[in-house]
Amino acid sequence: MGHARHKFTLFAARWMPPDEACRLESANVRGCRLARSDAGHGLVAIWRKEWDYAVLVNRMSYYFEFDATNRVLRGTFTGRVTDEEVMTFYRLAGEYAAQLNPSAGIVDLAEVASFEVSVQTMRQLAKSPPAMPERSHPRVIVAVSPHIFGMARVFEFEGESTRPNLHVVRTREEAWAIIGVQEFEFEPVATAINPSNVDSTC
């Protein structure tokens, strides 16, 4: 069964101003290297000496990663998700897709604790231009809970004409199978977009 191979451990997903990121010494990230996102959305990636990193999103419950080898863009939600966050996420997904030109996309909702998004918002997003314009590119939504699965199906149904290769599944393994990749090499989008944007002053 396919799985994602990561080079990191996600130890935090909370607000952290970029200029304070180096104060995480108490969280056992001494000797880190800091990569600042030039997207202007508060995204900070921190590599530990063991090449672990944490993604810290400014008051948001999501983060983006990219696998340059397999050209897969993945957005992951955690905790509480609201209408505003889903709308912003969708806009950013389109921006990242335009810069990275992925051949597949994954939206991972498996770790969501509270999905406070209206049906109207899901329908509005479904009628918007796809984040990945190429209709044939596979895109998969991983939704574990019955409620979130049902909301994702609303998005799938309402956007079927512009996203014919969209799939809603309950497990990550199903997503891997649809994408056709056995192992992934994800890294923060900040690094994928601008690999030289690294500050080693921590």
| 180: CB partners within 8 A, 6+ apart | none
Tens-place pLDDT, residues 47-66 = 433 333 334 434 468 889 99
Token pair, residue 193, equals 């977009």
pTM for this prediction:
0.72
For range 71-91, the mean pLDDT? 95
Burial of 75 (0-12, 13-18, 19+ CB in 10 A): buried
Domain 59-189: give its CATH architecture. 2-Layer Sandwich (3.30)
The answer on pLDDT for 169 being more than 90 is yes
Enumerate the domain spans of the chain. 59-189
Distances (CA, A) of 50 to 28, 29, 56, 63, 64: 11, 10, 18, 21, 21
Tens-place pLDDT, residues 122-146 = 999 999 999 999 999 999 999 999 9
Highest mean pLDDT: which range of 13-22, 38-47, 162-171 = 162-171
Token pair, residue 65, equals 């990663």
Least confident window among 49-58, 67-76, 92-101, 189-198: 49-58
Percent of the chain with pLDDT over 90: 58
Tell me whether strands 72-82 and 62-67 are parallel, antiparallel or unpaired.
antiparallel
Token pair, residue 49, equals 């000496």
Distance (Å, whole) CA 106 – CA 108: 6
